[in-house]
Structure 1
Amino acid sequence: MPETTEASDTYSYLGPAGTFTEAALKQVPEAAGKAWRPVNNVGEALSDVIEGRSVGAMIAIENSIEGGVSATQDALATIPGLRIIGEYLVPVNFVLVARHGTTLADVKVVNAHPVAYAQTHKWLEASLPGHGHIPATSNVAAAASLLDGSLADAAVAPPGITEYHDLTVLAEGIGDNPNAVTRFVLVSRTRTLPEPTGSDKTSIIAELPDDTAGRLLEMLEQFATRGVNMSLLESRPIGDALGRYRFVIDLDGHILDERVADALLGLKRFSPKVVFLGSYPRADKQTISVSPRYSNESFVDARDWLRALISGEPA
């Protein structure tokens, strides 16, 4: 990628080159031909956006095995001024790599990112019983460490890692779930909403007003009574006291869809804090199916009916 210091020409991602995050960034047409800035963690990636070093940051937010990425969810809840402008899905599998001359029987200690380790632990336990684990900051860093004096004998890494580092592959397809997928989001400071496509997602974070019995049900009713499906609902501790949680929520639909807009109005009246993270096209392109009574036309018709009653027009 060409080097430049202009924020409008720079995208940040969890590096170094070869990570799954880089694979997600490769799916962004606007990022092609721009400078890609590798960073060490989610906080650094988002700081690049907030402080103007990058126009966008690609970060992992959810995976199909471990669920939500807590570091990302907490950062989006607490750092103001950020918007999700797109999501991208990357199939996840792993290989075991080592220095040349190493055999599988030689491996006693494995270097791996904690998430990658969790997604390969069954294979590792079956193939390398009694092995030790050294955590790495990224999947690529785990592999690179083998060439930099690491105490590990092997590393869990993404397929294709040997294109970047001179290592040998001891085993392929070591992921415990061949259908594993990680969901990434592109985050920026833009306030411009993309137009609804009929295949959209809206991400928010909300808090309950108090711990009175039934408060969670009241929050969920804001969506259920308007026909808005939730594709993600996860709790994260707020951190100011035990038992205090915020909820990370993905809704099927766009904020410009009448049912979603009405649900958000209801949520805002209920919740002491609602963070709108963005409405954006779904990565899977799946069309959202909505009952006719929750269609845009139904909401508009109901408002027109009410206006007619208020103005004294014939019902």
Structure 2
Amino acid sequence: MSASQRAATAGRTAGAMTYTYLGPEGTFTEAALLQVPGAEASDRLPATSVSAALELVRTGRADAAVVPIENSVEGGVSATLDAISAGEPLRILREIMVPITFVLAARPGLASAEIRTVSTHSHAWAQCRNWADKNIPQAEYLPASSTAAAAVGLQEADPAYDAAICSPLVAQRLGLSVVAADIGDIADAVTRFVLLSLPTSLPAPTGADKTTLVVPLPEDHPGALMEILDQFSARGVNLSRIESRPTGMFLGDYFFSIDADGHISDARMADALKGLHRISPNLRFLGSYPRADHREPEVPRHNTDEAFRSADLWLEGLLGG
């Protein structure tokens, strides 16, 4: 821990945890945080953005942060993928799944046909777009930093928009007028959140784990991506998510954000990461942690830990003979 981090944490009560999350209060992110054991009784700091939440952790003003990383409708959350790919390294400790439902809240006395502007987070808008096109086609969309921020803005004396798409919880907390409920286009939409801290001890393997990586593409040439993927496929490691993101350095320069089934302590995963490091030495390991759905991967016999141990003993025997 740096000197600035030690100074920031010195005033906190010994043993007390401070969590931060994408705020304001009432976001789906806060709902995810409240699933973390002990979080309900801890200090909770809402942040204005994903980057702001992670900065609180990196500077020692919070012990851990909960941020959205993936949505079942929209895919990866680019703000999170980019923020954890650079800067001081962070470590994912666990993932949390939250079912997502939305309501349309409007200024008091306003009917849906009178709504001309509606605000919400971009991912929420994408998940309600078909409903909006059908039910409020006249409404213009205004982006907000979160669904809860849009709901809070609706309470201002002279709000900049007529309605907000938000969670039922925040609408209830704020006493907003709900015009329509359950307006998501996909009934079983889910958002995945992660709990991040500064690098610390890894969670113990459970047999149903996930490993998250950031892999820069060191050189753009035919087959470059295949070289990366081969490190996993040759060892029987399944990828549950892979997305490319621009590094921001120059046009065409990308890194890959990857979720792989397994724990770094698994022989197949460890061997894959060693092979990957030879290809992309600047890869970033973001953690191995339990899967929220507890689903164990199917591992071929020749990729089990026992198979790797047997192969090591066989080779040692040859070299020693």
Query: TM-score, normalising length from structure 1?
Result: 0.95
3-state SS of the aligned residue for 1:160? helix
The separation in 2 between residues aligned to 1:222 and 1:87, in whole angstroms, is 25
Q: 2:264 aligns with which of 255, 265, 268?
A: 255
Superposed, 1:224-239 pairs within 5 Å as: 224-239=233-248
1:37 aligned residue: 45
Q: Which runs of 4+ in 1 moved over 4 A?
A: 4-8
* Deviation of the 1:5 alpha carbon: 4.4
SS in 2 for 1:293: helix
1:6 Cα deviation from its structure 2 partner: 4.7
Structure 2: where are the runs of 5+ without partners?
1-10
Tell me, in whole angstroms, the C-alpha distance in 2 between the residues paired with 1:212 and 1:162.
Answer: 51
**Distance (whole Å) between structure 1 residues aligned to residue 12 and residue 47 of structure 2:** 15
Q: Tell me the TM-score normalised to structure 2 length.
A: 0.93
Contact 1:6 1:53 in 2 (8 A): no
Q: How does 1:87-98 map to 2 (within 5 A)?
A: 87-98=95-106
Aligned mate of 2:213, from 194, 204, 214: 204
1:291 CA drift (Å): 0.8
Could you tell me how far apart the structure 1 residues matched to 2:104 and 2:270 are?
47
Give me the CA root mean square deviation. 1.4
Amino acid at match of 1:174: I
1:209 CA drift (Å): 2.4
Identity %: 49
Structure 1 residue 160: Cα displacement: 2.0
Tell me which residue corresponds to 2:309.
300
Aligned-pair CA distance for 1:161:
2.2
Alignment of 1:97-246 (within 5 A): 97-148=105-156, 149-246=158-255
Per the alignment, in what secondary structure is the counterpart of residue 130 of structure 2?
helix
Return the alpha-carbon distance in structure 2 between the equivalents of residues 211 and 101 of structure 1: 57
How far the C-alpha of 1:194 sits from its partner, in A, is 1.2
Q: Using the TM superposition, give the Cα deviation of residue 30 of structure 1 relative to its aligned residue in structure 2, in angstroms.
A: 3.4
Residues 78 and 6 from structure 1, CA distance in 2 versus in 1: closer, same or farther, beyond 3 angstroms? farther
Match of 2:25 among 1, 17, 27: 17
Distance 1:150 1:232 in 2: 39
CA–CA separation in structure 2 for the residues paired with 1:221 and 1:119: 34
Question: Which runs of no fewer than 5 residues in structure 1 stay unpaired?
Answer: none
